[in-house]
Amino acid sequence: MNNNKKTILIVDDEPEIRGLMQEILSEEGYLTFVAKNAKEAQTIVVDSPPDLVYLDIWLPDIDGITLLTKWSETNQLSFPVIMISGHATIETAVKATRLGAFDVIEKPLSIEKLVVSATKALKASKKTTGNNIALLIKNNCSAYADTFLDLDVAANSDQILFLNGETGAEKGEFAKYIHHQKHNKEDNFVNIQLNLLAADQQENESIISELENFIDTIKEGTIFLSGYSELITKHQIQAHNTLQNLPLGQGIKFIVGVNFSKKDKKLMQNQELDTFFSDETLLDLPPLRQCLQDIPELLKGFIDYFNITDELIPRRFSLAAQNMLTKYAWPGNIKQLKNMVHATLLRPGKEIVNIEEIEETLTLQGPSGDLLVQKDILSMTMIEAKEQFEKAYLSRQLELVGGKVTELARRVDMERTNLYRKLSSLDIDYKNKKKQ
């Protein structure tokens, strides 16, 4: 096949329809194939999976819905499918969509309708395949080589997996990677944020019923539980008791995102939790500072990523800028790098990104990508601007010392009691930063 052309398979039992669609799509620059029934379509899909399929609902051997169901159930649906019919009902359209069809269009097919539907489907498919942070890391970060071997093993296990990583490690993206390895599809991935479940609960209240209610609504796929480490110990134990009693191996993969080491003092002090984690799989995700030599390739990867997902115009980082970024501490890890690249591409500028621009972006943004200093600072009063600067300065310094206020006091040469007051007055959450 010509790799420069998108391939489209047209499945329809009417020769006139097949010929007309093939002529129109070929003129648009697509490489087209045709099949007059489900059997021929299946042969083509197995031998050379296309980039897009137009599938007639009514076929002489088996109907299009049945064929779509087969592709979905056997994990062959690696391409968008547009169903076509002369008399499709609403029920049929809904069923096709639930099975994974991108769209349902009705005959007669106009040139405009056909071209627009192909463009939309292929564009959406491009975004889906390109929107994969974990694969980007896998292909560009050598420190993760062993990690992905472990992730592949975990995908084939029914055991609960605990993904341990620092703030910004993008644990959710690695959970999605495992989900796709296990189920070979994008849907049926659910993120339950435990810290939000517990947000309205008092220390003496239970989060079990709410957690169980969420779990009971999922029949197949992957459930990713985030925010575990932010729970108080009592709620952690409640969550762990629920997880221990889960019916494993029944179509649902459970993954828990945590933020602590195996030697975490609080964990070791609690025998119940310590036993739980030692019995289950705890997989450590390397911090970005272990991938510093790979920063140039990661930059290119994220530029391509945002070109696909957000259609941002690619730019190149100068050698000096790349060298600078390979020496940066990256307290916010992968997420911080991703957000930095995104912010850089959003800004108007020359094709080459220089050191000055990088420094400005890193100053304006915190590790999570949040804006630390407003761009319209010159419109503020002196008091407002001073507060903005102090908050940005102390937030950044606090990140660099790992949330340790005593170390921060030494670093900024400020008496500790006064520093605590200043952090509180600026609404800087030093307690949570210390946990991280």
Q: Do residues 110 and 12 share a domain?
A: yes
- Same domain assignment for residues 53 and 169: no
Q: Which helix (H) or strand (E) holds 53?
A: strand 52-56
> CA-to-CA distance for 254 and 157, rounded, in angstroms?
10
Residues 6 or more apart whose CB falls under 8 angstroms from that of 377 comprise 385, 388
Q: Which domain holds residue 401?
A: 377-435
Is residue 372 within 8 A of residue 396, CB to CB? The reply is: yes
| In contact, 170 and 333? CB cutoff 8 Å | yes
Cα separation of 234 and 238, whole Å? 6
- Per the structure, how many domains does the chain have? 4
Looking at residue 285, the DSSP 8-state letter turns out to be P
Residue 301's H or E segment, with its range, is helix 295-309
Instruction: Give the CA distances from residue 328 to residues 150, 292, 295, 377, 394, in Å, rounded to whole numbers and listed in that order.
Output: 28, 8, 10, 26, 18
The helix/strand/coil state of 325 is helix
Contacts of 50 (CB under 8 A, 6+ apart): 7, 8, 9, 33, 44, 79
Asked which of 286, 301, 321 is the last residue of a domain, the reply is 286
Rounded average pLDDT per 10-residue block, the chain, 436 residues: 70 92 92 92 86 91 89 76 80 77 85 89 67 85 90 86 90 91 76 73 68 72 84 80 74 84 48 52 90 94 87 91 90 89 87 87 60 54 78 79 83 86 82 51
Q: Is residue 22 part of a domain?
A: yes
| Predicted local distance difference test score (pLDDT) of residue 268 | 43
| CA gap 104, 62 in Å, rounded | 18
Same domain, 18 and 99: yes
In a domain, 2, yes or no: no
Q: How far apart are CA 170 and CA 168, in angstroms?
A: 5
Question: 14 in a domain, yes or no?
Answer: yes
Do 191 and 297 lie in one domain? The reply is no
pLDDT at 8: 93
Residue 277 to residues 163, 183, 258, 265, 282, Cα–Cα distance (Å): 11, 25, 11, 14, 7
Q: From residue 144, give the alpha-carbon distance in Å to each of 293, 306, 373.
A: 13, 22, 33
Nearest alpha carbon to residue 23 among 32, 15, 14: 32
- The residue out of 313, 332, 364 marking a domain boundary is 364
In angstroms, the CA 258 to CA 228 distance is 6
Closest CA to 109 of 8, 24, 27: 24
Integer-rounded Cα radius of gyration of the chain = 26
What is the spatial distance between Cα 142 and Cα 206, in angstroms, rounded to a whole number?
42
pLDDT in tens, 161-218: 899 998 889 999 999 999 888 876 667 788 887 877 666 666 666 777 777 777 776 7
Which of 364, 395, 422 represents a domain boundary (last residue)?
364
User: Are 80 and 105 in a shared domain?
Assistant: yes
Answer yes or no: are the C-beta atoms of 241 and 206 closer than 8 Å.
no
Identify whether 1 is part of a domain. Answer: no
Shared domain check, 190 and 209: yes
- Record the tokens describing residue 300, joined without a space: 């290119």
Q: Is residue 369 part of a domain?
A: no
Residues 258 and 306 in one domain: no
Neighbours of 85 (CB within 10 A): 20
Give the chain's end-to-end CA distance (angstroms, integer): 50
Average pLDDT, the chain: 80
* Same structural domain, 354 and 261: no
User: Dihedral of CA 121/30/313/116: which sign?
Assistant: negative
Residues 6+ apart with CB under 8 A from 406: 416
DSSP helix/strand/coil, 111? helix
- Regarding whether 191 and 57 lie in a shared domain, the answer is no
378: DSSP letter: G
User: What does the pLDDT read at residue 302?
Assistant: 93
Separation between Cα atoms, residue 17 and residue 36, nearest integer Å: 10
How many residues are recorded in the chain? Answer: 436
Three-state secondary-structure class, residue 36: coil
Quote the tokens at residue 146. Answer: 């062993």
**Tokens coding 168:** 């910004």
**Does residue 370 form part of some domain?**
no
What angle, rounded to 10 degrees, do the helices at 133-140 and 171-183 form?
A: 100
pTM above 0.75, yes or no: no
Q: Which of 329, 394, 340 is nearest to 362 (CA)?
A: 340
Q: Same structural domain for residues 120 and 138?
A: no
Residue 381 inside a domain? The answer is yes
Nearest to 72 by CA among 59, 83, 85: 83
Residue 167: CB atoms within 10 A of its CB come to: 21
